[in-house]
Amino acid sequence: MRVFAEIGATPAGGVNRQALSDGDRAARRLLCDLALARGFGVFQDRMANLFVRREGRNPSRPPVLIGSHLDSQPTGGQFDGALGTLSAFEVLESIEDLAIETDGPIEVVAWTNEEGSRFAPGVMGSMAFAGAADPAAWQSLTGADGASFADELAATLAALPEATMRPFGTPVAAYLELHIEQGPSLEKENIPIGVVTGVQGTRWLLVTLSGQAGHAGTTSLAYRRDPMVAAAAALHQLQEAIMPADPQARLTVGRMMTYPGSINAIPDSVVFSIDIRHPDPDRLDSIEAEVRRVCEEQAASQQCSCAVVRTFDMPSATFSPVVVETIEMAARSLSLASKRMVSGAFHDALFLARVAPSAMIFVPCRDGLSHNEAEYVAPEHILSGARVMLETTIALARRPA
C-alpha cells in the first residue's frame, strides 16, 4: 500500500495518479512485477484493464474476479481504488501462501480510468468490459491536460509487454470489489464492514428559471418577476419534502449561478444543478417528476419560465443476493459486525453487475472524507476488509459452477 502511495504522491499526503498517466503506468508496472514474481498470469484487454490470474483446478471455468482501480483524482487520497485493488492482490497471495485449491481460477483486476477526471467519462474500463459502451467513441478524446486519449492508452498497453492480450467480455463467475465507503455512516455507527447491496441510480438535472432583470430599488413587488424568489421557494419545498420522507433518497444542489449577477439587480435568470439519487428506478422517476412539478409551479407563481434538462442519467444496480449473503457469512464467521447498505457513489461494480453476480465490501474511512488528500482508513479496518474479502473469495471460488 505504502509503496503504491508513493507513486504520484502529493506533498499533502495524497495521490495524483490520474488515468493513463506516467504514474498510472508505474503503478501497473509494479503490480505486474509483483504478480510475475509470484508466478501469476498477467493479461490486459484493449482498454488496458489489467488482470492477474491464479489458476484453478479447472482452467475452463470462468474466474472469480476481485479488484478495483489504481487511478486517482488529481488531488485524491491513497485509498480510493488502490485499497480494493491491492487488497485483492493480497487475497490472491494469501490463497497462494495457504496453498488453497479452488475449482475455478481467481483473477485480480485493475480497471482503467474509474475516476474520469483526466479523461471523461469515468468507469471507462468496466463499462467497455461489460459491453455498455463502445470504446471507439473515446479514441478522439483530449484530456484535461491536453493529452490524447488514444496515445496515452497505446503507451499504457505498450508499457506491459509481458501481459497477454485478451478480448473484452470474457465470462466472469462472480465479481467482488472492496472499496472505502466515501461516506460517514460506517465510522459513525462503528461498524467495520458494509455489505453493499446495490448502487443508487443518479440523475443530474439542470434547472433554469428565467424572469426579468430589474432595478433592486425602483422595482416594487407587484412588478417583479424574480427567478431567485422562485428558486428559493422551490428548493426549500423540495428540501423539506424529498430526503426527510425517504431515507434512501438524496437531493443535492451543489451549483447555483445568477445572471447577470449584480448585487443591485433582480436577476434575469437563476441556474442550478440538482443531483438526485435512489436505489429504486421508479422512485427516482417520481422524484424527478416532483422536482419538475415544484420548479414549474414556483416559477409560474413568480411569472417566470422554467426549463429542466436531464444532463446525466446513471441507472441503479442491484447486486447479487448470493454474493451479498456470502459476504455477510464471511463477516459473521470472523465475528465482524456488518450492515447492508446501498452505495451512493458509482463504482466499477455498477457495470460488472450487468454481466456477473457481483457485490461490494465497504470499509469505514475517517470523517467520510474521499476525493481528498486527507482520505484515511485505519489499519484495523483495512485488515478486517481484506479478511472478509479472502473468506468471500474462497467461498465464491468453491461454489459449484
Tell me the closest approach of the beta carbon of residue 82 to a copy of itself, in angstroms.
Answer: 18
Instruction: Please state the closest distance from residue 158 (CB atom) to a copy of itself, in A.
Output: 34
Give the SS3 label for residue 74: coil
The nearer residue to a copy of itself, 140 or 190, going by C-beta atoms, is 190
In total, the chain counts a number of residues equal to 401
Cβ burial, residue 246 (10 Å; 0-12/13-18/19+): middle
By beta-carbon proximity to a copy of itself, the closer residue of 18 and 182 is 182
For residue 60, the minimal CB distance to a copy of itself (Å) is 39
Binding mask 294-333 for a copy of itself (x = CB under 8 A): ------------------x---------------------
Whether residue 364 contacts residue 181, with contact meaning beta carbons closer than 8 Å, is answered with: yes
Q: Which of 164, 262, 301, 333 binds a copy of itself (CB under 8 A)?
A: 262
Q: Is 193 in the site for a copy of itself (CB under 8 A)?
A: no
36, 147, 154, 265: which one contacts a copy of itself (CB under 8 A)? 265
**Which residue, 174 or 266, is less far from a copy of itself as judged by CB?**
266
Helix (H) or strand (E) holding 81: none
Q: Which stretch in 47-55, 60-68, 121-129, 269-277 sits in contact with a copy of itself by CB under 8 A? A: 269-277
- ∠165-170-176 over CA atoms, to 5°? 110
Residue 218 touching a copy of itself (CB under 8 A): yes
**Binding of residue 339 to a copy of itself (CB under 8 A):** no
Give the C-alpha separation, 361 to 237, whole Å.
36
**Is residue 374 part of the contact set for a copy of itself (CB under 8 A)?**
no
Query: Considering beta carbons, is residue 133 or 265 the nearer one to a copy of itself?
Result: 265
C-alpha cell at 188: 459513525
Residue 391 · residue 373 · CB < 8 Å: no
Compute the chain's Rg from CA coordinates: 24
Q: Which of 36, 103, 204, 283 binds a copy of itself (CB under 8 A)?
A: 204
Q: Which of 41, 62, 116, 344 binds a copy of itself (CB under 8 A)?
A: 344
Instruction: Round to whole Å and give the CA distance between 17 and 84.
Output: 16
182 touching a copy of itself, by CB under 8 A:
yes
What part of residues 220-239 is at the interface with a copy of itself (CB under 8 A)? 220-221, 223, 226, 228-229, 231-233, 235-236, 239
Dihedral sign, Cα of residue 128, residue 134, residue 138, residue 139: positive
Residue 163, C-alpha cell as written in the block: 501481459
The alpha carbon of 125 is separated from its chain's Cα centroid by a whole number of angstroms, namely 12
Question: What whole-number distance in Å separates Cα of residue 334 and Cα of residue 91?
Answer: 15
152 interacts with a copy of itself by CB under 8 A = no
Rounded-to-integer distance, Cα 188 and Cα 209, Å: 38
Q: Which is nearer to a copy of itself, 10 or 237 (CB)?
A: 237
Given the C-alpha cell 488529481, which residue does it identify? 74
Tell me how far apart the alpha carbons of residues 311 and 293 are, in angstroms, rounded to a whole number.
18
For residues 170 and 69, is the Cβ–Cβ distance under 8 A?
A: no
Total residues contacting a copy of itself (rule CB under 8 A)? Answer: 56
| The binder of a copy of itself chosen from 104, 267, 357, 364 (CB under 8 A) | 267
- Residues of the shown chain interacting with a copy of itself in the complex, contacts defined by CB under 8 A: 181-185, 188, 200, 202, 204, 214-221, 223, 226, 228-229, 231-233, 235-236, 239, 243-244, 247, 250, 252-258, 261-267, 270, 273, 275, 277, 312, 343-345, 368, 370-371
